[in-house]
Chains A and B, each alone.
Chain A
Amino acid sequence: MESRNNKLTYSLIVIVSLLTVAPVIMLIIGSFSNNLHTFGNFTLNKYVSVYTDPMLFSILGNTAFFVLGAAAFATILALFLAYLNNRTDIPFKFLFKVLSVMPMMIPHVLFGVSWALLLNPSNGILNMWLVKLLNLSKAPFNIYTIWGMIVVEGLLDLPVAYLIISPAMGSFDASLEESSRVFKSGPIKTLFKITLPILRPAILASFILCIVRGLASFSVPSVLGMPGRIYVLSTYIYRVVTMSLIADYGKAAAIGMSILLISVGLIYIYRYYTRYSDKFVTVSSRGFKPTVIELRKAKAPLFIVLLIISFVLILLPVLVLLYTSLIPYIMVPGKQAFASMSLQNWRTVIKDPLSLRSLKNSLFLGVGGATVGSFLSVLVAYVIVKVKTKASGFLESISFLSFSFPGIVIGIGFMWYFVRTPLYATIWALFFSYLATYLPYGIRPMTSAFIQIHGSLEESSLVSGASFGTTMRRIVIPLLVPGIVSSWVLLATMFFRELSVSVVLSRPGTEVLAVQILRFSEDGQWGRLSALGIIMIVISTVMVLGVNAIGNRYKPGEVREKRRPKTIATNRLD
């Protein structure tokens, strides 16, 4: 068993290294080179020019403020929602499930754009309406500010934070809280003294993950930050490679190095704080239901807050885009707007060869990439969870390597890498760099799925004479279906709307949807943008719902959870 596992471990190390380590090495070498064609001629020029630029400090300040603000906002909101869902008798709990998956279907760039359409200072729909309504002299809100960026990015990170915190809150052994209640602590005191400290690993994980995502975020800073000339590191790199006469990939790599170091540092801190997370394993194998707290008077106001969040996250962006796609130019909804509505924007988009090609490419990358990616994730997660050797630890660190750096930085690394291979400017360049960048998102759900499969389930298969392959096929994979589904859905939706790697690597012929959206937004083609955006949202939604439906059919986990209490009841009868 060990030799076979070792073989698997080492071949995965090679594959994953090619995906994740190679671009990093190329990025490092690139940062010491002058530009793509002078690769390898050692020079410090790029570092000197980047780090002596006085502008860098304001960019770093913006970045820190933006990233920390958004992470804090998302985590606190997620805690609030997770608590409401898991611990209280708030009505319409299905809203939480919708909340947690919905933003996967709305691409970030579109979410950002919809807010720009609502709240931009010159012709934001909501702004114009408020000016008219209240007779103001100028627009009351300006989304093109750092606060605007924080709120929008925070809302976008909310589902991620929620998905980390909510399961922890839900699978939390209620007796820990009950014993605190027995010792005369009220619900609020229990929340702060017991619940939150025990959830600390989840909260910390969520906060740091949000920071890392914020650092990597390109959509919000490009759509909301650049028009107001608020640059963060990711948009700064973008400016260096696209908005100057000669794309300076050396300088981009040198900036990228600083993001890389910050991210690696953060991940190190994250690991340090969660190293004893075993201590906090409170998921018991028995079925139980945590005590539900009655909200009484607070029920109605809290429910309204929930409705507002749901509206803002789910309905509003779609409505704004749908509306904008039907009108010739931006105006406040009213008689004039409805009179001028037409399908003109839709017709233009459907006939636009660029939009069509980007749709085709993104579909291929989403479906194909997610399939290959979740297959790779199953194997890597298996080795990480079940094979505990030094080599598997190494595999874990290189698999999660890309987790710590932003797509645009990996994109620059891949640029240096692919330019030397025939993959350059092909769809496969995007394919492999997507895999590398988002591999951790595929592996994460798989590792938690693997952890839930008790080792003896596999061992008993081996003892029963099943080979490793049979054990995987008949025992492990079927039990992993929920994990595979979430990993596939996560990867597919991420690939389908990928922006930050693509803005660097996409070339004529390999256009993808999100880049096309960004182009429309830069050109102020709001109508076409919205039409294409709606198409994108519909396809993502169909993809997510379809795969979830397939997964539900083969989901042993559901059966297990639902039937557990019955098992216990019969136990007692015995």
Chain B
Amino acid sequence: MEIKIRGLKKHYFSEGKIIKALDKVDLDIEANKIFTLLGPSGCGKTTLLRCIVGLETPDEGEIQIGDTIVWSKEKAIYVPTEKRQLGMVFQTYAIWPHMDVFNNVAYPLQNMKMPKKEIAKRVAKTLKFVQLEGFEKRPSTRLSGGQQQRVALARALVAEPKVILFDEPLSNLDAKLREETRKELKMFLGELGITAVYVTHDRVEALALSDTIGVMNAGNIVEIGSPKKIYFDADHQFVADFIGRANLVPATVVSQGADSTIVDTSMGQITCYKRSFNREDELVLCLRPEFIAFDKTEKEYVNQIPGTIGQMTFVGEVYETEVLVGKQIIMTKLDPETKYKVGD
């Protein structure tokens, strides 16, 4: 099911100031795809999610899920949360501590007044899907973080909702577990093919999981696009900066080639992927540290720029290296076994 959001506004008043959590947001979320809302904390992404699920009431606007308008100020429509038939995984998982795994997962079905046999069957099937077979009788207080996360997912999925919502579901896991769970989640969601709205502030999560990313800032959706578009080809400086490490260099368009755009910077001319700009346009060039290579020899390359290594910081998989090009400092990454050293 697709989700359509029109002119959604939500302001908070806190200590005499107005906080614009949602500032007239328009958004279309495609059916059966994974859509991620990405943004720094306080950008309104969670508020938007909570408005979709109905736990928060917007000030203005309209929300449509599939063919049903679930909230509209103008038309005075309000479908309460429990009637929206959505699934949601909470940041804290919200596993009920007084119930065992079975009852936690069966709860949505029990609310649908489904016969007991059918419930048992569906719960077993869902637990198998999230790889928690045989955990039915386990008290939910005796689950590890990763298991709790999967119980929460099973509970969100068991009633086969058309839309499932995730509110930073991995942020409570430690780094290693987070990576594994992310992969699992990607697999689960890939198999299900339902509409998923995923809220996170973690750019790696967003890039790895999504079909489409919507980057939010200060109550607005700044840019929407595929992970690659957002990463390589962002229209906005904020997005380019937020999605990964970036060297932002002021540049001027010099000429348009057949499949490239040539810009002039303080470091010299640089050939980039083609983007439609006019000559003389002032813009900001984003150079990803991951894609800057080093060579001491005299060979010729495209976009070759001479520079001196200023500072090297060993962070495990790479040296984070600052290169001085004239007065410009460029962040780059060097292989940890590199023979380059400071001053080269």
Contact = CB atoms under 8 A, between A and B. Distances in A.
A465 B91 contact: no
A567 B55 contact: no
Contacts of A77: none
B271 interface: no
Contacts of A559: 97-98, 139, 141
A570 interface: yes
Given A570-B144, A574-B144, A463 B111 contact: no
A461 B155 CA distance: 10
Contact of B94 (A460, A563, A566): A460
A2 B144 CA distance: 35
Contacts of A463: 53, 55, 81-82, 84, 86-88, 156
B292 to A, nearest CB: 37
Contacts of B130: none
A464 B54 contact: no
B229 interface: no
B57 interface: yes
B145 A574 contact: yes
Nearest to A470: B111
Contacts of A538: none
Interface residues of B, number: 38
A18 interface: no
B96 interface: yes
B81 A459 contact: yes
B94 A454 contact: yes
A567 B138 CA distance: 12
A571 B174 CA distance: 9
A269 interface: no
Contact of B112 (A1, A465, A570): A465
Is chain A's binding surface mostly helix, strand, loop or mixed? helix
A332 interface: no
Given A566-B142, A570-B144, A466 B94 contact: no
Contacts of A474: 107
B85 interface: yes
B186 to A, nearest CB: 19
Contacts of A478: 98
B143 interface: yes
A560 B141 contact: yes
A138 interface: no
Interface in A534-574: 556, 559-560, 563-564, 566-567, 570-571, 573-574
B145 A456 contact: no
Contacts of B141: 559-560, 563-564, 567
Contacts of B85: 465
Nearest to B148: A567
Contacts of A475: 96
A468 to B, nearest CB: 8
B135 interface: no
Contact of B98 (A460, A479, A567, A574): A479
Contacts of B82: 462-468
Interface string A427-469: 0000000000000000000000000001011011111111110
A57 B285 CA distance: 82
B108 A465 contact: yes
Contacts of A466: 82, 107-108, 111
B98 A556 contact: yes
B146 interface: yes
B342 interface: no
B96 A571 contact: no
A465 B97 contact: no
B55 A462 contact: yes
Interface of A: 1-4, 454, 456-457, 459-468, 470, 474-475, 478-479, 556, 559-560, 563-564, 566-567, 570-571, 573-574
